[in-house]
Chains A and B, each alone.
Chain A
Amino acid sequence: MTKLREQEDFVSGHRACAGCGLALGARLAMKGVEQDSIATCATGCLEVISTPYPESSWEIPWIHSLFENSASVAAGIEAALKAKGDNETKVIAQGGDGATVDIGMRGLSGMFERGHDVTYICYDNEAYMNTGIQRSGATPLAASTTTSPPGKQSYGNENTKKDALAIAASHGVGYVASASIAYPKDVVEKVKKAAELDGPSYVQIHVPCPTGWGFKESDTIEIARLAVETALWPVYEMENGEIINIRKIKNRKPVEEYLEKQKRYKHLFKKDNGQQKIEQIQEIANRNAKTFELDK
């Protein structure tokens, strides 16, 4: 068994909500970066909870610029390091799902395409949490958010989750992986691999948010695990566009077990025809299971 290194680069004392999956995700991710590193961070929960002036939770050099430029700022840092002959220091770019799959996509695409030696980490809590739980492109089908509320004519979010991993892979990014905080060592190891690679890499970590999703603070890991065990969050790795590793599921659970524990899906169990939406979500899970051959 590999032991996690003791050094913490994202330290406690930050202001995240109790049970925040994102804070845990960041802590684990930082444990994966063993080299000297510089990190960027997009505007969002992570930035706000960790750097209230004059305090900071970061033990490594860290910069926040804007919401949509984490990848571009990181690319500039990498270019500066290279210009100064430093090929050792690693550059880690971080952003929430909104910062990554929506508003920051242009800069992320440019960073990938130009081949910067940057590890991009997306902390996916499936909505714009920092501004009050609005829908993002990574919000799953039928989830209730403050801008995709259920109503007489609505079952919550109308669209399915954007597949940012496939977008990254289609850029020819050498290492692309999904991970979940339910499997801490897996997070650390994937970030480690990503950081060790020369060139761009992308890791998207599923980080349940008790505040935005509506579940008990003590259930964060349980919720994260259920997302994986229902096949709604497939956990896998890709090298040069090829899937090289998949977390198999022993007894795949029905999606209800995941949905019923979260307030953001509550309406599906109350509304007429809510069952139809649940079936659609089950179909998404089935498709994931098939595509990634998740069933053991």
Chain B
Amino acid sequence: MVERRVMEGSHAVAHAVRCCEPDVVSAYPITPQTHIVEKISQFVADGDLKSNYMRVESEFSAMSASVGASATGARTFTATASQGLMLMSEVLYNASGLRLPIVMSVANRAMGAPINIWNDHSDSMGVRDAGWIQLYAEDNQEALDMTIQAYKIAENQDVMLPAMVCMDGFILTHTYEPVSIPKKEKVKEFLPEFDPEIKLDPENPLTLGTVGFPSDYMEIRHEQYQAMENARDIMPKVFSEYEEKFGRTQNTLTENYKTEDAEIILVSLGSIMGTIKEAVDELRENGKQVGAIKIKAFRPFPDQELIEGLQNAEAVAVLDKNITLGKKGALYTEMKDTLYSADIKPQMTNYIVGLGGRDIPRQSIKNIVQQTKDDLNNGQTREVRFVDLKEE
């Protein structure tokens, strides 16, 4: 029997970590990640998790210690958010370049200034080129499931890349929802022990992290690129296997919600998908042909799935909880690349929503759909719209 309990997202992730039994956990506190690492500390204190827990002096060292531990063949976990993720950023690139399958939770939080502890995606989107797999959870159950899946994907011999599981700060980390907690034994059947071929081992001395000259650097980067492409193929298999074992999740990098006959499709990621689905349901009741696509994996980016999902849409509204200054939202710009290469040209509008924790009520989603419809009728006017901006 699976255990089903009401708990915060942070605790759901901590339970996933307990089941995956990392050898080393190293972390530094930052709101809204704290409850994850506090719960893990408690598991260690109670003997429910036999990890070597390092209470490091900074996020920079949290990630650096993860690099050392992972390179020694240890399964490793850490968690952070926002400013902490940025302090790690130099090491993030290093971890992926060294091909270390570290798993990290990111409790998404806005970047300062102005300092703000609430949710948006400017932190993880800011490191989208660091060479990490990125998964985005819609709810607490998914945050738990994705954490377990992340280890299996990252540690696959053909991947060997670090993975971050992003979950919206407060909205998921601090919110109680019913969650099914798998049995540790069952997770062990799903996730074999981590035993990498290449590691720091006195029995077989290897040199890791050498100087890559122009004569070799490109090939090494290409291998890394290929590994991320491999992840694209391996992820659906891991999701399917997880579904068979635990009866949850879908085997694709995206989730299509009522898209089949949809004229207008909303695309986004993270917890906002719950609100979007509710809005879609309501609009459907009023006869509107609206659907939604949820991006589960942002890295690798689900090009093929999006092309298939959007080929018949007349208009696409992309909701970004981040903004690239001087350009547009990250999801929007990436999707344009995807559709251009497939020669699909629906009307596309970028809606910037929820920055710094601004609430996104269902009505706002419905307004977005209405705006998209109006644009379709009038011929589109603006590519980027900030939603619910206060008027002076």
Contact = CB atoms under 8 A, between A and B. Distances in A.
B54 A62 contact: no
B61 to A, nearest CB: 4
B246 to A, nearest CB: 27
Nearest to A55: B210
B243 interface: no
B324 to A, nearest CB: 26
Contact of A84 (B74, B94, B204): B74
A114 interface: yes
A53 B211 contact: yes
Contacts of B26: 76, 79
Given A51-B211, A75-B54, A79-B52, A65 B64 contact: yes
Given A72-B61, A77-B72, A82 B52 contact: yes
Contact of B61 (A37, A51, A89, A106): A106
Contacts of B207: 51, 56, 58, 61-63
Nearest to A41: B209
Nearest to B73: A80
Contact of A66 (B64, B73, B205, B212): B64
Interface string B192-210: 0000000011101111111
Interface string A198-229: 00000000000000000000000000000000
B67 A60 contact: no
Contacts of B51: 83
Given A69-B60, A84-B23, A107-B61, A56 B68 contact: no
A268 B83 CA distance: 46
A196 to B, nearest CB: 17
How many B residues touch the partner, as a band? 35 or more
B57 interface: yes
Contacts of B64: 65-66, 69, 72-73, 76, 107
A166 to B, nearest CB: 20
A165 to B, nearest CB: 20
Interface string A272-286: 000000000000000
Given A38-B200, A52-B211, A77 B60 contact: no
B60 A106 contact: yes
B91 interface: yes
Given A52-B210, A73-B67, A83-B24, A110 B72 contact: no
B326 to A, nearest CB: 29
B146 interface: no
B72 A53 contact: no
Contact of A63 (B23, B54, B91, B208): B208
B210 A80 contact: no
**A48, A62, A75, A78: most-surrounded residue (chain B CB, <10 A):** A75
Nearest to A47: B211
B54 A114 contact: yes
A78 to B, nearest CB: 8
B24 A110 contact: no
Given A53-B216, A82-B52, A74 B205 contact: no
Contacts of A113: 57
A24 interface: no
B79 interface: no
Nearest to A81: B72
B56 interface: yes
Interface in A66-98: 66, 68-69, 72-84, 89
B69 A61 contact: no
Nearest to B23: A83
B210 A64 contact: yes
A13 interface: no
B58 A110 contact: yes
Contact of B72 (A52, A60, A76, A114): A76
A51 B202 contact: no
A54 B220 CA distance: 11
Contacts of A53: 210-213, 216, 220
A262 B26 CA distance: 46
Interface in B72-124: 72-74, 76, 90-91, 94, 98
Interface string B29-59: 0000000000000000000000110111110
Contacts of A84: 23, 72-74
Interface of B: 23-24, 26, 51-52, 54-58, 60-61, 64-74, 76, 90-91, 94, 98, 200-202, 204-213, 216, 220
The 5 nearest A-B residue pairs measured at CB: A76-B68, A76-B65, A110-B57, A72-B64, A80-B74
13 contacts: A47-B211, A51-B211, A56-B210, A65-B91, A72-B64, A73-B64, A76-B66, A79-B69, A80-B69, A82-B52, A84-B73, A107-B58, A114-B54
